[in-house]
Structure 1
Amino acid sequence: MLFVRNDSKRFRFCRSKCHRNFNKKRNPRKVAWTKAYRRTRGKEMAVDSTFDFEKRRNRPVKYDRGLMGKTIVAMRRVEEIQQTRDARFFENRMQDAKAEKKKQARVEIEKSIELLAPAVANREEVMRNVIDSAKSRIAARKKSSNKLTTTPNSAMVEG
């Protein structure tokens, strides 16, 4: 939908939701689902040289097959560059979040340490049981492998 103001300023709306919010005079920088909100809060890259390729140009270009091939290859390359930069931007933004999650986990553990205390108290006993069962499994495997290796050899010697 296109809305033209009295001062000839044009506004294009992708869906009626956007148009309704514009009519309600809502600031898009304060509405959480908009691109403007994400950019102002630093959730998305606001400045990048790859954005210059997406600008519309009103210059008519004569069709040239070689130029079109190069353009398509360049578009793919720009897309790859944009994706790597987005990923890097996201990782940098989430570094602080990792530390914050660890801090919150520590606080949660400190709050509910009484739930974990019985498990920690039984830890040595559980570890002993695990080690004993592993040793018994290894011993059983050795016995079965010894039986398998000795039986065919003794049969060959006798035969």
Structure 2
Amino acid sequence: MKRNPRKVRWTKAFRKAAGKEMTIDSTIDFEKRRNVPVRYDRDLVQTTIKAMKRVGEIKARRERAFFKNRMAVSRETQRAHRRKIIEGVKAGVKLHEPMSVESPVSSKVQEKIKVTAKRHTALLPGEGRSMGMDID
């Protein structure tokens, strides 16, 4: 099944088109595939590995800053949305005075409540059997 990569949410093309990933950055240029093979040189390999680590650190820092900027915008919209909801609730609800802390019946005077005693039943549970008649 053919699909447009800009409409499929998990593709890099979608993330870049939707502004969820960095599109213009010099660190991306270092990750491009090189088609021309280079003759092996020990010093070149060492400097390349050091450069890769450094570029990775720079890229991670830039991605963190990009993400924080994205989330700062969403945080402001969330705050505005919450304020709007709270204002709507305050306008529509009439608040009552809180009930007094003391209850109308003081704690010193307690009412006596009659509780019926448990009746003694003639049926007693048998040895591992249910209560009732014996069934052969």
TM-score by shorter chain over 0.5: yes
Deviation at 1:98, TM superposition (A): 1.4
Paired residue for 1:73?
50
- The match for 1:9 is none
Tell me, which stretches of 5 or more residues in structure 1 are unaligned?
Answer: 1-23, 126-159
Distance (whole Å) between structure 1 residues aligned to residue 8 and residue 40 of structure 2: 42
Q: Tell me the TM-score normalized by structure 2.
A: 0.62
Establish whether residue 54 from structure 1 lines up as the match of residue 31 from structure 2. Answer: yes
The alignment yields a C-alpha RMSD, in angstroms, of 2.2
- CA deviations on 1:53-107 (whole Å, 9 max, x unpaired) are 1111122222222111111110000001101111111122222111101111112
Q: Where is the helix percentage greater, Structure 1 or Structure 2? A: 1
Percent of counterpart pairs with the same letter?
Answer: 51
For 1:67, the aligned partner's letter is: L
**One-letter amino acid matched to 1:49:** S
Structure 2, unpaired ranges of 5+: 102-136
Question: Could you tell me the TM-score, scaled by structure 1's length?
Answer: 0.54
Between the aligned partners of 1:45 and 1:31, the Cα distance in structure 2 is 18
**Equivalents in 2 of 1:101, 1:54: separation in Å?**
36
SS in 2 for 1:33: coil
1:34 to 2:11 alignment = yes
- Paired residue total: 97
Larger gyration radius, structure 1 or structure 2: 2
